[in-house]
Amino acid sequence: MNMAQNSTFLFYGFLAAWVLMLFYVISLARRGARLKKELEDVKQLVNSSQKDRQKEIPSRVR
């Protein structure tokens, strides 16, 4: 087993560790972005349905 092969595999080892870490961080980031968007959408949904409700009430009081 020569020095070159040894060092090459060392590089692969470090690469593997960091790539795995990177994969996870990227998937976390993507999930975070998706959740943020969903939260915005749902908040809008709640606001609009509450506004609809408020528009209904005056007509019933009349």
Partner 1 sequence: MREKLAYGLSIAAAAMFTYTLYRIFLMLPDELMQGAIYRIMFFHIPAGIIGMIGFFVSMTMSIWYLSSKDLNFDSLAASVVEVSVLFASINIVTGSIWARIIWGVWWTWDYRLTSQLVCVLIFFGYLALRRAIDEPTQRARLSAALNIFGCVDVVIVWKSIEWFRNNHPGPVLSIRTGGGQIDPRMDHTVYLNLIPLLLTGIALVLIRTRQEATAREIDSLRRLAHAAA
- 19-58 burial, b at 16+ Cβ within 10 Å, e below that, comes to eeeeeeeeeeeeeeeeeeeeeeeeeeeeeeeeeeeeeeee
Nearer to partner 1, 39 or 59 (CB): 39
Least Å from the CB of residue 62 to partner 1: 22
Footprint of partner 1 (CB under 8 A)? 1, 3, 5-7, 9-10, 12-14, 16-17, 20-21, 24-25, 28, 31-32, 35-36, 38-39, 42-43, 45-46, 49-50, 52-53
